[in-house]
Amino acid sequence: MRLIQLSLLMLFVELAIIRWAGSNFYYLFAFSNIILLASFLGIGIGFLRPITSKKLFFLSPILLSALICISYYFSPALIIKVNPITDNLDYTSHYFKDNLYPIWMTLPFIFCLVVALMMTLADGVKQVFQQYPPLQAYRLETLGSLSGLILFTLLSYLEAPPYAWGIVICLCYLSLIKKQHTPNLCLLLQILSLAAMMFVFIKESKTLHHYWSSYYKIVLQPYSDHRYAVTVNGLIQQIIESVPQRKKVKPFYMIPYEYKTSSSALNNVLVIGAGTGGDVAIALDQGAKHVDAVEIDPMLYSLGKTFNPNQPYQDNRVTVYINDGRAFLQQSKKRYDMIIYALTDSLMLIMGQSSLRLENYLYTKEGMESVRSHLNPDGVFTIYNYIQPLWLVNRLANTMKITFHQTPCIKTYSSLDYWATVLMVSPMPSSLHCNTYWQGDSSPFITPATDDHPFVYLQDKTLPPLYLISLSILLCSSLILIKIAGISYRNILKYLDLFFMGTAFLLLETKNVINFALLFGTTWFVNALVFIGIIFTVYLAIEFTRWSHHFKKNILYSLLLLSLFLAFLVPNHYLLSLPLIIRFIFATALAFSPIFIANLIFSDRFRETQQSTAAFGANLMGAVFGGILEYSSLIIGYGNLFILIAVMYLIAILFRTFFTSD
């Protein structure tokens, strides 16, 4: 029970700090998996440290409290400014405090602090882990991790604020601390640290107009005339205001209705990215007889229902769907007179483990083809957003042109505060009367994003210099931290097969998260179920290995490569064409078969190890390398990740066959 409890605590803390750090340092949205990689690195170092090294678990509550408090008290504070001339938010001003430490200092500091915290937690797990036979220890650790993931998922489902996380963490720590012999002074520091952490969590949870959805921290900041700025993880995402106010300060919202010919009906309108209801209220004001409002975050819908002055969500003409926009289009058979992508920029990456935003699949060529299939012959499709880079406007416009075989209308609206772009297209050109069409021939336009390479906001299929530099620094820092911790690289080289298994498994895990996001939606619930399914599959493989005395390795190796080849061979567009239940069955079989077989190989190998903690640590170090390699998808696309995964497993198999003696 102690090993299960320690493992539960370790994973729960990892998930909590991913959410907490992301909500307090807005720039982490561009480095989605930095906390995850720091966690893997810290856990790997904790397991690889020599058995004779000093125990460090007693420091973990102190470091955790320091991380929570520093993240809270040194995070940027958004300052809302209103332009007195336009009566609109001054989007051109600098919103954040000027006395903050720059990103190049803060990010490495947070990274190292997370590494230290997870190292001390892993040290506690390791002390108990090494008391069991390798496979039994791995089984108990997996059970604890699965329990921690399910518990955090449950709290996310309940939209529990941070103090709920703190209660779980404190209960685990207090239960563990009382079972160990700790000096009174150290025990006092641990208790005070937990109290400080709870103080910050409670203060944050009870702050007026602070809300915690399953995706991010949402803050409502009131300003002039009963209007609210809605920020997510520290960045302004949307504004709650009345229709007359919006007509006055942001008239571009009315352009789709002004450009639609009067002869075209407006019986059914679909708003994807309905948020707090502003776009829905405008559609009703413009004469829509019925509006389907799709919003991925139930908290944003709830806030719109409470604070939107026009109360669109209380209107009988509105039907609300809490779902991912692309998933809704795949599941619905309804046709519309107008479909609007309403400021769908989520500022949120999927589950902290990929380079994909929640809305990316909406803007792919396949996503817009799905939109076209839901439009009436004279229907209108509109995208509007604060799109400034010309190449991004060209990409979206070109995708619309290729999909609809019509040149889209374009309208740019500039004011003293912002620059907005509106793109409109219809299968029937007479449905729109345009003043200006997109002039793709006069400027370079960009190849459309696809479901395989859905990086809408990436101009070219290259690794951006900022990412390249950051990942290089991260890799070098990892090597230095390993050495500082007194770990010999020989301990990793001794288990290179397990290292590359960890690399391949992290890539396989990421690929499955991305695939299920496309097939069933980028909702947090789908992603959480995938992670639970992955860890449960690992547990099943361990149990199967426990009751099986011998595996024919060559057969397992062949089955693994075959399962990867089949997953690579079956295209996503075929799976998307299947009915939902059949799609789920096929997708699950294709996704979890290689995971199960790979973990049969890993479990069989792991039970033979002589130094289980070093072997487990080497595997986790491989996961860090896999997290770095995941960014290669920006160049090769997600489909080709299967090739990279197969190569990593082949390298592991070769090392296991020809070079490993343990």
Q: Residue 220, class by beta-carbon neighbours within 10 Å (0-12 exposed, 13-18 middle, 19+ buried)?
A: middle
Q: What is the pLDDT of residues 533-584, one digit of tens each?
A: 999 999 999 999 988 877 788 899 999 999 999 999 999 999 999 999 999 9
Q: Identify the bridge partners of residue 82 per DSSP, sorted by sequence position.
A: 89
Q: What is the pLDDT of residues 471-526, one digit of tens each?
A: 888 888 888 888 887 788 887 888 999 999 999 999 999 999 999 999 999 888 99
Are 620 and 434 a contacting pair, CB within 8 Å? no
Please, what CATH class does the domain formed by 2-208+460-658 belong to?
mainly alpha
Hey, what are 12's tokens? 């729960």
Hey, what are 416's tokens? 């003293």
Are 101 and 569 a contacting pair, CB within 8 Å? no
Residue type, 501: M
Cα distance between residue 188 and residue 186, in whole Å:
5
Cα distance between residue 83 and residue 78, in whole Å:
16
Which strand (E) or helix (H) includes residue 235? strand 235-240
**Helix, strand, or coil (residue 342):** strand
Cα distance between residue 56 and residue 190, in whole Å:
13
Closest CA to 605 of 613, 620, 615, 596: 615
Are 1 and 131 a contacting pair, CB within 8 Å? no
Hey, what are 522's tokens? 């980028």
Is CATH 3.40.50.150 correct for 241-347+365-442?
yes
Cα distance between residue 141 and residue 146, in whole Å:
9
Residue with tokens 């980028």: 522
Q: Which residues of 308-344 are buried (b: 16+ CB within 10 A; e: fewer)?
A: bbbebbebeebebbbbbbbbbbbebeeebbbbbbbbb
**Helix, strand, or coil (residue 272):** strand
What stretches in the chain show pLDDT beneath 70? 29-32, 77-79, 83-87, 90-104, 178-182, 263-264, 346-355, 416-418, 441-443, 660-662
pTM: 0.90
Cα distance between residue 298 and residue 199, in whole Å:
27
Residue type, 178: K
Q: In what order do the strands lie in the sheet with 217-223?
A: 210-212, 217-223, 227-232, 235-240
- 241-347+365-442 matches 2-208+460-658 in CATH topology: no
Residue with tokens 């301990």: 491
pLDDT at residue 98, as a whole number:
46
Are 591 and 515 a contacting pair, CB within 8 Å? yes
pLDDT at residue 348, as a whole number:
63
Q: In what order do the strands lie in the sheet with 318-322?
A: 318-322, 290-295, 268-272, 336-342, 375-385, 419-425, 409-414
Residue 502 CB contacts under 8 Å (≥ 6 apart), including other chains = 618, 619, 620, 621, 622, 623, 625, 626
Q: What is the pLDDT of residues 333-360, one digit of tens each?
A: 999 999 999 988 766 665 555 567 778 8
Q: Domain spans of the chain?
A: 2-208+460-658, 241-347+365-442
Are 133 and 53 a contacting pair, CB within 8 Å? no
